[in-house]
Amino acid sequence: MESSASQTAPFKNVALAGLGLIGASFAGAIKRAYPDVRIFGVDTDSRSGVVAVERGWVDEAATPGDPAFARFLGDEADLFIIATPVAAVDGYFKLIRETGFAGVVTDTVSTKAHIISSADELLPDTTRYIPGHPMAGSEASGVDGARTDLYEGANWILCPDDTTDADSFQKLHELICGISARVVSLPREEHDRAVAVVSHVPHMVASSLMRLALDHADENNALMRLAAGGFKDTTRVAAGSPELWCGIAFDNAEALSRGLHEMEQIIASYAEAIEQRDADGLKTLLRVAADARQALPAQWVPGSDKLLEVRIPMVNRTGVVAEVTTIASSVGCNIQSIEIDHLSEGNAVLSLMLTDEGDIGQLSFQLIDAGYTVSFRPIEPKEHAHV
């Protein structure tokens, strides 16, 4: 990843709770892209803090409850990242209130129902709280599994709503794109259902496959020695932390349970086609899945030969950033950067820089249908700071 060190960092002082795989990787990625950003991290495991400092990912580290961290949060930090299990979130929301922290708050928690409810109850100002969830991970866990390139090319969900402060969203979007991830905007009420399908159900299926193999392995584990690349790739995530995934499963129990029951029905349709020797039916099932899999991009690589600027007036309308970025994500368009031109009090223009992905026609149609005035302008890549 090309360093953004020559660019001004969107945040100067970052407080980070949680120095496990996700939090430490985020800290390392920020430091690599923006070396001058100061990061103060806390973790219940003091060794994680020591390792993060030694690797240069954070400038200071402490355990929760350290007065130095509270002072940093209240007096200096302009961004607070919560990368802890959901059970620890309420305590940090209370710390925000106690210290008077007035910056941007985001999180990396993989389920949103509890944390959004807690934010509404505990945070003094929810307009600068932007729920987040990086769709990246590893079979490794903890600070020892962290790496600075974990988020390169990864989708990073942000969940703004009608009350989200537009400038705060812009800065957080810039930070995430600056570490070479791509932002996908998703309505808060849809998040848990969506990640159940693409993340939580697959983990349980991978775990189930390992159980199936174990149940049929002989004493010498001959079957396990036959496990080739395909099986290993499919079951890789099953090596994740049981404690972590148990928590995730219970936090998203309703959506996960529903998804697993849907999987039962899908698997049953394959079994039925095989039992009835229905070749046409089985081929159809396999073909639909194969076509969908082949349509997935191998890796996110923004187009460098075509950039498109979309300008949208924001006059007298709330929730523009949330609505517009969600529409863009829904039609597959990647927003590489966001700028907000404040022309006067209450009068601004939202400028989106798009790569050459997605359906621009549908984007235009849906924005106009939603009541926006839209203008498009091709841009040379060299004019854009993040290219």
CA separation (Å) from 361 to 365, 372, 376? 6, 14, 11
| Strand-pair partners of 82 | 17, 107
| CB proximity list for 217: less than 8 A, separation 6 or greater | 223, 224
Q: Give the domains, in start order, of the chain with CATH numbers.
A: 13-186 (3.40.50.720), 192-294 (1.10.3660.10), 307-383 (3.30.2130.10)
Q: pLDDT tens for residues 126-171?
A: 999 999 999 987 767 789 999 999 999 899 999 999 999 999 999 9
How sure is the predictor about 99, in pLDDT bands with cuts at 50, 70 and 90? Answer: very high
Residue 327 in contact with residue 360, Cβ under 8 Å?
no
| CB proximity list for 354: less than 8 A, separation 6 or greater | 307, 308, 309, 310, 328, 333, 334, 335, 336, 360
Q: pLDDT tens for residues 160-195?
A: 999 999 999 999 999 999 999 999 999 998 888 888
In the predicted model, is pLDDT for residue 296 greater than 80?
A: no
How far apart are alpha carbons 81 and 41 in whole angstroms?
9
pLDDT of residue 299: 52
How far apart are alpha carbons 89 and 18 in whole angstroms?
10
Residue 292 has, within 13 A of its CA and on its CB side, a CA count of: 6
Mean pLDDT over 271-294 rounds to 94
% of residues, the chain, pLDDT over 70: 91
pLDDT of residue 140: 72
CA separation (Å) from 129 to 118, 325, 351, 365? 11, 17, 22, 30
Q: pLDDT tens for residues 100-124?
A: 999 999 999 989 989 999 999 999 9
In the predicted model, is pLDDT for residue 273 greater than 50?
A: yes
Q: pLDDT tens for residues 239-257?
A: 888 888 888 898 889 999 9
Mean pLDDT over all residues of the chain? 89
pLDDT of residue 1: 43
| Strand-pair partners of 40 | 15, 60
| CB proximity list for 192: less than 8 A, separation 6 or greater | 111, 112, 113, 252, 255
How sure is the predictor about 220, in pLDDT bands with cuts at 50, 70 and 90? Answer: low
